[in-house]
Amino acid sequence: MTFILVPTEGEDLQINAWNWRPTLELLLAANVITEEDHARMGAHGCGQVDEVKACRIAEVVGQNFLA
């Protein structure tokens, strides 16, 4: 799965993840996203994040899926 994080400021970040549900669980467990973010992204496949959160998501996904 590929998803694109579109921060309110800064550049878009494209994330490639094999499966979105484990990715959301990983981000929730790492305290990168909130319960509300988790529910919204899981149900609707969308949500807005700021540049800092987008970068943190990219960092955590990169550390856990690209290693």
CA distance 66 to 32: 18
Query: Tens digits of per-residue pLDDT, 26-47?
Result: 889 999 999 998 888 877 666 6
Residue type, position 27, single letter: L
Q: Exposed, middle or buried: residue 29 (CB in 10 Å: 0-12, 13-18, 19+)?
A: exposed
**Residue 28 structure tokens:** 């929730």
Beta bridge partners of 13: 5
How much is the pTM? 0.65
CA distance 37 to 52: 15
51 pLDDT exceeds 70? yes
